[in-house]
Each structure stands twice: as structure tokens, then as C-alpha cells.
């Protein structure tokens, strides 16, 4: 069954975008897309760096002499001695270099957090059927304050702590749009592209990206589609029209 886009199709707002021009230069529109639910694996917050973890694992296995640890790990003894002193100062090792109860608890929680997963969405374009280089973590923010007609949609959104009302042009999908369910490899590539874009924007700007910041720690290896029946949505978007632009079209 093909997805149906009509006046009841949800309008979703994916959040922040880089603003090279003033707000007054925005032209809103809503763009059709198919939203597929995916599973997103994330790295947990790791309490120890790689050297601390290696030394703690050795100490937990009963290897607690600095020279023995250095020999087994093929790491310089001075570095191991520094890590041992560091762990003692953190109360992660006791006087005989055995892991404390706090250290064991953190080691176990780190192992458990390596399998953290969350839900999210990827999007297939409603015009050309191409998967967007974008991942949404969590639920879709459906805008319930919308009014459709055949060519435009009127909506409200919060901007600067107050409600603002706008009108956007509706871009309807192609009736004969050809699309396929994205594979795990497709989703992985989309996630990698999105994370690269976030990093590039952060290098150029100091501002927060809002919802996009939630992709920190994303592991692209385990991404997978969990629902092959997509949800048709209109994505709130805007283009920038620089001041003084003569091309009104």
C-alpha cells in the first residue's frame, strides 16, 4: 500500500539549522518525506580511559605489580606507575592495588552501557525517493497547530520564547514516486553524513544545534530499520533569500 499524503498528514519540525542570514529572509515550505523507525546504538559515558581500564582489568585478574602489568600490556613502566597512582588518588585502587568496590561497580556499569540503544527515524525524500543524510533521535515533533489548504499550510512554532505564526507553501509528493526500504548500510551512511555535517557546523559556529547535539556518541555500526512501513510526514523547512536578491522566482 502506497503512503498517502493529504491535509491530515503530520507536519514535523526537525529543529535547528545554520542561519547564514537574518530571520526576515526565510521562506517557509513543508516537504514530503517517508519516516522510517530505526534503532540507534550509543556509546555510554565511559568512566575510565583506555589505560585506566586496562590496568583495572589486570588488577581485577590478580596482576597488581606495576612491572608485571607493564610487561603483559607491553607499555612503558613509568606510564603504568603513573596510572596506578592516578587510580589510587581516585579511590579506585586500595593500598594493595586491588580494585575497590566503587571501581568494580563502575567497570560493570561500563560493560552494560556498551549496549545502549535508542529509537529514532531516518527519512526518504517524497519527491525523488532518496534517503536523506539525516537521523532523528527520539520521537518526531509533530506540530498540532496547523491548517491546510491545497497550496499552503498555516502553523505556529515557538521562537525566542514566544509563539510565532507563519505560512508555508506545500510541496506535494510525486504520485509515481519510486522508493524502497533503506537497508542497514544506507542508514549507516546517512548517520555518518549527518554527524560529519554537525561537526563541520560546530567548527564554524559556536552555537548549539539543539536536537542534533543528541547524536553525540552515536555508533553507526549497529543502526538498523525496525519498521518497514513508513509514516508519511511533511517536514517543516525554509530557504534563505538574501536581502537585495533580484531573483524573486
Q: Is residue 211 part of a domain?
A: yes
**Residue 25: DSSP 8-state:** G
Element (H, E) at 30: strand 26-42
Q: Do the beta carbons of residue 142 and residue 156 sit within 8 Å?
A: no
Q: Are strands 162-170 and 26-42 parallel, antiparallel or unpaired?
A: parallel
Which of 71, 94, 113 is at the close of a domain? 113
φ, ψ at 123 (rounded to 5°): -130, 135
Which of 87, 113, 139 is at the close of a domain? 113
Q: Give the Cβ contact number of residue 249 at 10 Å.
A: 2
133 with 225, same domain: the answer is yes
Each residue's pLDDT tens digit, 98-123: 999 888 888 876 655 455 677 889 99
Q: Is residue 39 part of a domain?
A: yes
Residue 124 CA to residue 198 CA, distance in Å, equals 20
Which of 66, 83, 113 is at the close of a domain? 113
Q: Is residue 198 part of a domain?
A: yes
188 with 144, same domain: the answer is yes
Question: What was the pLDDT predicted at 16?
Answer: 58
Mean pLDDT, rounded, of the chain: 80
31 with 151, same domain: the answer is yes
**Residue 150: DSSP 8-state:** S
- Weakly modelled stretches of the chain, pLDDT under 50: 113, 249
Question: What was the pLDDT predicted at 155?
Answer: 85
132: left (phi over 0), alpha (psi -120 to 50) or beta: beta
36 with 93, same domain: the answer is no
21 with 105, same domain: the answer is no
Q: Give the Cβ contact number of residue 136 at 10 Å.
A: 26
Question: What was the pLDDT predicted at 249?
Answer: 46
Three-state SS string across 55-96, please?
A: HHHHHHCCCCCHHHHHHHHCCCHHHHHHHHHHHHHCCCECCC
Q: Do the beta carbons of residue 70 and residue 161 sit within 8 Å?
A: no
Each residue's pLDDT tens digit, 117-126: 778 899 999 9
132 with 99, same domain: the answer is no
* Three-class SS state of 208: coil
Q: Is residue 246 part of a domain?
A: no
Q: Is residue 183 part of a domain?
A: yes
197 with 214, same domain: the answer is yes
62 with 158, same domain: the answer is no
Domain count, the chain: 2
Q: Is residue 96 part of a domain?
A: yes
38 with 123, same domain: the answer is yes
Q: Do the beta carbons of residue 210 and residue 15 sit within 8 Å?
A: yes
91: left (phi over 0), alpha (psi -120 to 50) or beta: left
- Per DSSP, what are the bridge partners of residue 142? 12
What is the model's pTM?
Answer: 0.64
Q: In whole angstroms, what separates CA 156 from the centre of its chain?
A: 25
122 with 179, same domain: the answer is yes
Range of the structural domain that residue 165 is part of: 11-43+117-240
Element (H, E) at 39: strand 26-42
Question: What was the pLDDT predicted at 192?
Answer: 84
63 with 151, same domain: the answer is no
26 with 56, same domain: the answer is no
Amino acid at each position: 500500500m502506497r503512503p498517502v499524503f493529504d491535509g491530515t498528514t503530520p507536519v514535523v519540525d526537525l529543529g535547528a539549522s545554520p542561519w547564514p542570514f537574518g530571520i526576515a529572509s526565510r521562506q517557509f515550505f513543508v516537504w514530503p518525506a517517508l519516516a522510517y523507525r530505526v534503532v540507534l546504538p550509543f556509546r555510554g559515558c565511559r568512566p575510565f580511559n583506555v589505560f585506566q581500564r586496562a590496568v583495572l582489568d589486570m588488577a581485577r585478574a590478580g596482576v597488581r605489580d606495576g612491572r608485571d602489568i607493564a610487561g603483559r600490556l607491553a607499555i612503558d613502566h613509568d606510564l603504568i606507575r603513573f596510572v596506578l597512582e592516578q587510580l589510587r588518588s581516585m579511590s579506585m585502587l586500595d593500598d594493595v592495588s586491588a580494585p575497590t568496590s566503587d571501581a568494580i561497580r563502575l567497570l560493570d556499569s561500563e560493560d552494560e552501557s556498551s549496549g545502549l540503544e535508542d529509537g529514532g527515524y531516518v527519512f526518504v525524500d517524497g519527491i525523488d525517493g532518496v534517503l536523506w543524510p539525516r537521523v532523528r533521535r527520539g520521537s518526531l515533533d509533530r506540530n498540532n497547530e496547523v491548517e491546510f489548504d491545497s497550496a499552503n499550510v498555516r502553523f505556529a512554532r515557538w521562537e525566542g520564547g514566544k509563539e510565532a505564526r507563519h505560512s508555508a507553501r506545500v510541496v506535494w509528493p510525486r504520485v509515481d514516486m519510486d522508493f524502497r526500504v533503506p537497508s542497514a548500510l544506507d542508514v549507516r551512511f546517512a548517520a555518518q553524513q549527518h554527524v560529519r555535517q554537525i561537526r563541520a557546523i560546530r567548527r564554524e559556529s559556536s552555537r548549539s544545534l539543539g536536537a542534533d547535539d543528541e547524536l553525540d556518541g552515536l555508533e553507526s555500526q549497529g543502526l538498523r530499520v525496525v519498521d518497514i512501513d513508513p509514516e508519511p510526514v511533511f517536514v517543516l523547512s525554509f530557504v534563505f533569500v538574501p536581502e537585495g536578491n533580484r531573483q524573486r522566482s
